Amino acid sequence: MHKLSRIGVGIDFREKTDHVIESAARLARSSGAAVDLIHILRPPPIYDRVLVQVREMPDIDQALGRAREALRSLAATMSGLEVAVHAQAGIPEVEMLTQAAEIGDDMLLVGPSTRHRPGWFGVGRTAGRIVQHARLPVLVAKGTLAEKPGRIVATTDFSDASHAAVEEAIALAKLWEAELLLLHVLEPILHLQGLTAKIAGETDVYAVEPDDLEPEWQSLAERFDLEGVRYIHKVVKGEAVEAIVEAANEASADLLVVGTHGRTALTKALLGSSAEAILEDCGGPVLVVPSSSDAFST
């Protein structure tokens, strides 16, 4: 684990940035992290194959210079924080991840596009691809992050691959002294519909019941340092995406934390269209944590 020391913030000047900047500032103030404002200028697609030459063209240099000035203006609004600005030309999602790695950012913060098309995680092409390929946590600021979040909902499927998200959620709960809800979705192994459902007297078949998972919760509690954290665990039955979003809404969560690359339907779903559905349907900030992430500590 490492300390959250730098936050990379993607800035697209074609979008409204107020909630992105404010979310980054609030997270930086509470954690003591520095902020890297990053803008990637994408030349027309025709130049993608000759990007090395394009980067050296005077008009690209001038555009990058203007972008840096605009970033400095945004940085000036983040009073009391250490803020650096970075502008580069290239394919946005590729350069964003490259820049964050070179700078040494511990987390990325991006905003959803208001111009996105369906099929890109509900947040736009660039943000969707960043979430899809990032090796570090990505906070998608669909709304402004609370000044001091009071409730966090984190999903787990009890696999090792999902532990990075749980660890991240615990670290944030300690940072903000927030309540933490650890959520597991028990999905049906068989859906019964129509006449068959009426005969069977139920609509779904489950392999286990929520009470059967108590040993899993005990093992999870022993694995992590939950001292001082106000937390509860909960098992809900249903479809993963719907259940997650509903639980986050019912808890009035200030932040939803989800992982990827687990073994169950839940985490496998987060790699595909269901990830889009969660990001589409959840109205607040969502932190997506890849299993390879080195979760930070407070």
Residue-by-residue pLDDT tens, the chain, 298 positions: 468 999 999 998 877 789 999 999 999 999 999 999 999 988 766 555 555 555 555 578 888 999 999 999 999 999 999 999 999 998 888 999 999 999 999 999 998 865 554 444 445 678 888 888 888 999 999 889 999 999 999 999 898 878 889 999 999 999 999 999 999 998 887 655 544 544 455 567 787 889 999 999 999 999 999 999 999 999 999 888 889 999 999 999 999 998 875 445 444 445 444 556 777 788 899 999 887 655 555 5
Long-range Cβ contacts of 75-81 (<8 Å, 24+ apart)? 75/35, 75/37, 77/21, 78/21, 78/24, 78/25, 78/28, 78/35, 80/29, 81/25, 81/28, 81/29, 81/34, 81/35
Please report, for the chain, the start and end positions of each structural domain, with discontinuous segments joined by +: 2-140, 151-297
CATH T-level topology, domain 2-140: Rossmann fold (3.40.50)
Predicted model pTM: 0.84
d(CA 69, CA 77) in angstroms, rounded, equals: 13
* Contact predicate 93/99, CB 8 Å: no
Q: Which of 41, 150, 127 lies closest to 86 in space, CA to CA?
A: 41
CB atoms within 10 A of CB 123: 23
Helix runs in the chain, H state only: 18-31, 51-55, 58-76, 92-103, 125-133, 163-176, 194-200, 214-223, 240-250, 265-269, 273-281
CATH number of 151-297: 3.40.50.620
d(CA 141, CA 9) in angstroms, rounded, equals: 10
Place of tokens 């609509």: 203
